[in-house]
């Protein structure tokens, strides 16, 4: 299974710098405070799982990481660099849209609702960003895209439009599309929640595969089995705060906090 992967040499990267670092991150939508001071750290090469009841702010936090949402207070760093701002002295400057876009190239994101581009075939979806953003020529991009579609097991569906694919196939194309930009960090926002139960396995297999290749992944999920088996760290969030964190196997089998216990007793 792993032989078809291009092994990423994670040890070569400076592991002292956290891939994602949150310090007291706050986020409000109008009057509603969704994140009430999040502190956490994602190490390079790690699979970091975020679990919690809906409305606990885990998806919002994920979206803050690539600046789809602006944070109101605190600091958020990706690979040592501030997200969305530039610090000079003690002043913060907002980044221009163009600068934000450049930073997002290195962060792949997979959505709950896939969000494939419906007017493009699977292959066109995958080559769109490399050609339009990185300026790769179409031939190279196509070759690489076919490798990626092969990797997610959909090489024979390259010419299909999203509407001609099942949910699980669409989500795997979406993963291939994100990988086409060679990201150093992948964000998964409940990637299997919109899928029929029998299609979940295929998507999780692709994600497991990706984790084994050494990709840094932040995964918001309700798949406790995946978290236990593949996750390196796990955070349980509730009501905008981190309630409990640690090794997934320990937290899931022996939760310390009462809220974690009641949540897990409902989902497991």
Partner 1 sequence: MTADIDKTAGPKDTPPTGPPAIKAIPVRHYGRYLTALIAIAVLGAIIYAFGQGRINWHAVPDYFFDDRIMTGVGKTLLLTVLSMLIGIVGGIVLAVMRLSKNPVTSAIAWFYIWFFRGTPVLVQLFVWFNLGLVFEYINLMPFYKDYWSSFMTPLLTALLGLGLNEAAYMAEICRAGLLAVDEGQTEAAHALGMSHGKTLRRIVIPQAMRVIVPPTGNEVINMLKTTSLVSAVQFAELFRYAQDIGQVSGAPVEMYFLAAAWYLIMTSVLSVGQYYVERYYARGSSRSLPPTPWQKVRGHLTSFSSRKVTA
Q: Smaller CB distance to partner 1: residue 180 or 243?
A: 180
3-state secondary structure the chain: CHHHCCCCCHHHCCCCCCCEEEEEEEEEECCEEEEEEEEEEECCCCEEEEECCCCCCHHHHHHHHCCCCCCCEEEEEECCEECCEEEECCEEEECCHHHHHHHHCCEEEECCCCCCCCCCCHHHHHHHHHHHCCCCCHHHHHHHHHHHHHHCCCHHHCCCCHHHCCHHHHHHHHHHHHHCCCCCEEEEECCCCCCCHHHHHHHHHHHHHHHHCCCEEEEECCCHHHHHHHCCEEEEEECCEEEEEECHHHHHHCCCCHHHHHHHHHHC
The answer to whether 112 and 189 are in contact (CB under 8 A) is yes
Closest alpha carbon to 121 in 105, 104, 142:
142
CB of 158 to partner 1, least distance (A): 7
Identify the residue among 11, 119, 156, 198 touching partner 1 (CB under 8 A). 119
Residue with tokens 């990637």: 191
Site membership for partner 1, residue 105 (CB under 8 A): yes
CB of 137 to partner 1, least distance (A): 17
Identify the residue among 52, 108, 214, 255 touching partner 1 (CB under 8 A). 108
How many chain residues interact with partner 1 (CB under 8 A)?
A: 36
Subset of residues 223 to 252 that bind partner 1, contact rule: CB under 8 A:
none
Beta bridge partners of residue 50, listed in sequence order: 220, 235
Site membership for partner 1, residue 44 (CB under 8 A): no
Identify the residue among 21, 58, 104, 259 touching partner 1 (CB under 8 A). 104
CB of 64 to partner 1, least distance (A): 13
Q: Which stretch binds partner 1 (CB under 8 A): 12-20, 23-31, 110-118, 241-249?
A: 110-118
CA dist., res. 140 & res. 120, Å (int): 18
CB of 165 to partner 1, least distance (A): 10
Site membership for partner 1, residue 95 (CB under 8 A): no
CB of 213 to partner 1, least distance (A): 20
Identify the residue among 162, 191, 231, 248 touching partner 1 (CB under 8 A). 162
Site membership for partner 1, residue 16 (CB under 8 A): no
Site membership for partner 1, residue 117 (CB under 8 A): yes
Site membership for partner 1, residue 88 (CB under 8 A): no
Q: Smaller CB distance to partner 1: residue 77 or 161?
A: 161
CA dist., res. 57 & res. 78, Å (int): 19
Site membership for partner 1, residue 116 (CB under 8 A): yes
Site membership for partner 1, residue 177 (CB under 8 A): yes
* Residues lying near partner 1 in the complex (CB under 8 A): 66, 68, 97-98, 101-105, 107-109, 111, 113, 115-121, 123, 128-129, 132-133, 158-159, 161-164, 174, 177-178, 181
């Amino acid at each position: 299974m792993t032989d078809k992967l291009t092994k990423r040499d994670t040890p070569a990267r400076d592991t002292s710098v956290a891939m994602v670092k949150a310090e007291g991150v706050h986020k409000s939508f109008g009057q509603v405070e969704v994140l009430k001071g999040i502190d956490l750290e994602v190490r390079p090469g790690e699979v970091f799982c975020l679990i919690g009841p809906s409305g606990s702010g885990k998806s919002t936090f994920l979206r803050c990481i690539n600046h789809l949402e602006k944070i109101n207070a605190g600091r958020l760093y990706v690979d040592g660099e501030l997200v969305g701002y530039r610090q000079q002295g003690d002043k913060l400057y907002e980044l221009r849209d163009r600068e934000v876009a450049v930073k997002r190239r290195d962060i792949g994101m997979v959505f709950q609702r896939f969000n494939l581009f419906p007017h493009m075939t699977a292959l066109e979806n995958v080559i769109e960003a490399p050609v339009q953003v990185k300026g790769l020529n179409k031939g190279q991009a196509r070759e690489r895209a076919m490798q990626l579609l092969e990797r997610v097991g959909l090489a024979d569906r390259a010419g299909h439009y999203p509407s001609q694919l099942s949910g699980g196939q669409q989500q795997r194309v979406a993963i291939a599309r994100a990988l086409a930009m060679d990201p150093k960090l992948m964000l998964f926002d409940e990637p299997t929640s919109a899928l029929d139960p029998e299609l979940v396995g295929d998507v999780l297999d692709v994600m497991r595969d990706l984790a084994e290749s050494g990709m840094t992944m932040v995964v918001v999920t309700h798949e406790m089995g995946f978290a236990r088996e593949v996750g390196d760290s796990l955070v349980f969030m509730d009501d905008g705060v981190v309630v409990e964190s640690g090794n997934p196997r320990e937290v899931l089998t022996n939760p310390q906090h009462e809220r974690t216990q009641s949540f897990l007793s409902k989902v497991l």
